[in-house]
Structure 1
Amino acid sequence: MTEPADRPPRTEPSDGEGSVSVIGTAHVSQASVEEVETAIADEQPDIVAVELDDGRYRQLKGHEPDDLDASDLLQGNTVFQFLAYWMLSYVQTRLGEQFDIDPGADMLAAVESAEEHGIDVALVDRDIQETIQRFWARMTITEKLRMVGGLAFGVTDSRVVGVMVGLIVGLVAGPALALFGGAVGITEAVYLRAAASGLLGLAAALLIDQLAGLALGADRRLVASLGGGWAVASVVAASGVADALVGSLLGGFAVTIIGSLTLGLVGGLALGLVAAVVIGLLGPSGPAPEGGIDEMDIEELTDADVVTVMMEEFRQFSPGGAEALIDERDAYIAHQLVGLRDAGYDVLAVVGAGHRAGIEGYLDDPASLPPMNTLVGEETGRGIPWGKIIGIVLSVAFVSFFVLLAMAGVQNAFLLRVFGAWFLINAVFAAGFAKLAGARWSSAGVGGAVAWMTSINPALAPGWFAGYVELRHLTVNVGDIGTLNDLLSDERKPIGEILGEMFDVPLFKLIMVVALTNVGSIVASALFVSYILPLLGTELGGVDGISQLMLDGARNSAELIWRTIT
């Protein structure tokens, strides 16, 4: 029977002082499996301690993975923590595939060998979810972006990454151009030319896509439609042949929206294509060079010097993340082993080779162990809480906008129209993006209904609400990560087919519903500030008039407060 380290094992301790010997293994090494089995048979310890927590032990033993609790999955940064866990799991899975052994086989061999000899097993590692939470909290924002980007670049075609980067940049740049384009010399004529070329280029791309679908494969069809659309857009932009027609069909407001978005997307996609080329040039373009990971003798991974180098490389990438993922776990495991040794047990500890040196250092000098209460519990992160500060500023600004206009004497009818527009655009975009992620209508509707409120308070998010409703129809568990790893490891399927199958995995679908609902609300907020508010504010004198009214409202509020207190 397997026992956590803090529960007394069934075996009685040996007479006298206990002992601990540590084996350092590579989690994807067949020789490590054999070494563990031999050591247990030869030493016959009282207890075999393994670098596992209860959840990973159950998973290795083939038990049904526990369902994930909705409140745990959707709160705070948990979605991003699962992405971090997924990335680490994916890297280990790929190593296991390259060397034809299941990740964790060394730990499973230790458990099964101990059971065969009637030896108790102690689970001495910290809970994986707690480790990942602390790992994520310790990383800086730059390190998080690099890590997630590394996962994307490692499993996604560079062209797809480039297009996604371009779309994100374009969606941000478009509204910014609408607000500040005049300051950099962008006139209404430029917006009109961009709108005409964008609309006709899009129409040409859609038409070519339908025609090419009759004779070309998916990749050539995509190239044909994008190339044809780009050619038409370029001709229209250079000649201005469609300016008069588009200007007569669309009003000035529509021209500004479409034109600024077109400019933003064109610039963003150009940046994305450059990024794709750079990624392609920097990535592998042929067989791995001799001495690379495919040629590496996996048994070298059990050598302490090699593993130390690998750990130090990770420490250079993220000192805070390495502290949570490596150093804290060294201390946590050492605490468990010292406790067993002090109780008089002879212990054989099976741990990853990268943890051996740190654990043995603590075993030699237990007084150097940090207090256990500093190694457990939720990590709140370090530094200035910019997210909370920005959330408070946005909430105060939103409320102040309505209060100051009301104090300036603006009619309630105008304020209701502004609020109605804010509610409507947030609802449409949040619900629409949720449906793009495959959400049910009920989930998308709930996310859209609360988006107006959550978009002014980053402490909340419409995706959480949509996710809670979606979870009524999904069963999500940790085993979904293994399914995702299997899909990403299939190098024969095209990326589009893999993505389609990933949306059938409950965990991935839930993450995408949560993420895209939030993205929809963010996009809506940007569009409202850039386009809708200036349009509604024309009756008050535009942006300058609204600003003056807010100043008047602030002055009236100050006078009212002064009269009240005096």
Structure 2
Amino acid sequence: MENNPILERNYPADVEIVPVNGREFILIGTAHISQESTDLVRAVIEQERPDVVCVELDEQRYKTLSEKTKWENLDLKQIIRQRQLMTLLVNLLLSSYQKRLGKQLGVAPGTELLEATKVAQEMNIPLALVDRDVRITLRRAWNSMSFWEKMKLLSSGFVGAMEGEEISEEMLSEIRQSDVLTELMNELGEFMPVLKGVLIDERDTYIAQKTRDAVGDKVVSVVGAGHLKGIKQALLENRNEDLSLIEEVPPPSPVGKIIGWGIPALIIGMLVYIGVTQGAEAAGDNLLYWFLVNGIPSAIGALLAFAHPFTIAISFFGAPLTSLTPVIGAGYVAAFVQAYFAPPVVREFQSVGDDISQWRKWWRNKLLRVLLVFILTSLGSIVGTYLGAAEIISNLF
């Protein structure tokens, strides 16, 4: 495509023009919930008529935005089998908060990214999706955090999702500004450096490399404002990055694996020791206590979630066994049974973004109830495991 010379470029600070080795990268930093950003994206692409348009999307997110079927196509049972319910919960909490902001701003989250793809198609400009697969990003973020960091993230996410107060016009005005979004990214780094490393720094590197790989001398790249500075710096450094290391999901920590297998081995070893030193009856009493102290709290958790009767029964009988293996937890077993006997309907998938911010809807929406079953039965099993271990240790001698 022949590039038309631009005599004047009176662009706002959200647009960075980065010349590198005879190529020109025009970076548009956007707010994902801003109509102004949407208008700016169209204006810049129409004026510049680049050789290619790069967008901060991966295939899955692009399909989600363009087809409007984000939750309808969710394979809940597959997510449970892959032990990704916590990742789903984090995604739902963040999406709910962003959606609430979008409603007040009058524009849906991600509209400016979709606008970039539409303009490119209208002008017959090649389109490049340059973001990392969102599933890899979320799993890398989750696996990189410690247990306490995960709890910290979830608690802050619940606060944000459950916050009922309307956001003031002054705050909304600030949110529209890219420099404020960048500042929010900096605060995220201070709040949880591991999360910033995966969500921001790694993706800066990834998006910059994919943008560099795009074919053409003039490239327009539409990215979130929080990525603008990092991507610009990476482009100016102009070095080829090996993306294979950040396209893999890191394995669980070996310390966590040792603890995960060590606790069950310790419990079983103590029961055997009691049997040898105190007799089979004493070992049987401790084993019965272990069964009840694990099964009852998990069943109560399922009951509090108004779970299906089969889910409650499975929670009671399954928790004592699942707590002795790190391969699968009581919460995942209970969630799978709940999803099987009380599967969510399409309407509940569509409304989950709104329902998650209202506690009562967690019991009415079947998708959220599956998550509630998972959370409460997992907590019940954790409590039971610690109580059971403490009792068996006290009975050793």
Indicate the TM-score class for this superposition, using the shorter chain for normalisation.
0.7 to 0.9
Match of 1:419 in 2: 287
Say which SS state the counterpart of residue 119 (structure 2) adopts: helix
Alignment counterpart, residue 210 of structure 2, candidates 331, 336, 355:
336
Aligned partners of 2:303, 2:167: CA distance in 1, in Å? 41
Aligned partners of 2:106, 2:171: CA distance in 1, in Å? 14
Say which SS state the counterpart of residue 61 (structure 1) adopts: helix
TM-superposed deviation, 1:464:
1.6
Give CA deviations for 1:360-411 in whole Å, capped at 9, x if unaligned: 22222231x54111111112366x72x3333333222212222222322x33
Match of 1:124 in 2: 130
Q: Give the greater-gyration-radius structure (CA).
A: 1
1:47 aligns with 2:52: yes
1:67 aligns with 2:93: no
Give CA deviations for 1:426-472 in whole Å, capped at 9, x if unaligned: 33332332232232222332332221122233443112222222232
Give CA deviations for 1:193-244 in whole Å, capped at 9, x if unaligned: xxxxxxxxxxxxxxxxxxxxxxxxxxxxxxxxxxxxxxxxxxxxxxxxxxxx
Native 8 Å contact 1:47 1:347 kept in 2: yes
Aligned partners of 1:359, 1:391: CA distance in 2, in Å? 39
Alignment counterpart, residue 445 of structure 1, candidates 271, 294, 313:
313
Distance 1:157-1:43 versus aligned 2 partners, 3 A rule: closer
Number of residue pairs matched?
375
Native 8 Å contact 2:89 2:371 kept in 1: no
Native 8 Å contact 1:67 1:475 kept in 2: no
Aligned partners of 2:384, 2:26: CA distance in 1, in Å? 59
- % identical equivalent positions: 30
Say which SS state the counterpart of residue 119 (structure 1) adopts: coil
TM-superposed deviation, 1:89:
1.7
1:37 aligns with 2:49: no
Alignment counterpart, residue 196 of structure 2, candidates 314, 322, 344:
322
Match of 1:293 in 2: 171
Distance 1:287-1:328 versus aligned 2 partners, 3 A rule: closer
Match of 1:523 in 2: 383
Q: Output the amino acid matched with 2:80.
A: L
Distance 1:406-1:73 versus aligned 2 partners, 3 A rule: closer
Native 8 Å contact 2:96 2:161 kept in 1: no
| Structure 1 runs not aligned, ≥5 long | 1-15, 159-283, 490-497, 535-542, 549-566
Aligned partners of 1:547, 1:428: CA distance in 2, in Å? 23
Alignment counterpart, residue 366 of structure 1, candidates 238, 241, 255:
238
RMSD: 3.2
Which region of structure 1 is more displaced relative to structure 2, 37-46 or 477-486?
477-486
Say which SS state the counterpart of residue 222 (structure 2) adopts: strand
Match of 2:101 in 1: 95
Match of 2:351 in 1: 483
Higher helix share: 1
Native 8 Å contact 2:38 2:111 kept in 1: yes
When the two structures are superposed, what TM-score results if normalisation uses the length of structure 1?
0.59
Match of 2:299 in 1: 431
TM-superposed deviation, 1:502:
2.5
Aligned partners of 1:424, 1:55: CA distance in 2, in Å? 44
Aligned partners of 1:445, 1:426: CA distance in 2, in Å? 13
Distance 1:373-1:28 versus aligned 2 partners, 3 A rule: same
Aligned partners of 1:41, 1:459: CA distance in 2, in Å? 54
Which region of structure 1 is more displaced relative to structure 2, 23-32 or 465-474?
465-474
Native 8 Å contact 1:68 1:477 kept in 2: no
Native 8 Å contact 1:50 1:110 kept in 2: yes
TM-superposed deviation, 1:126:
1.0
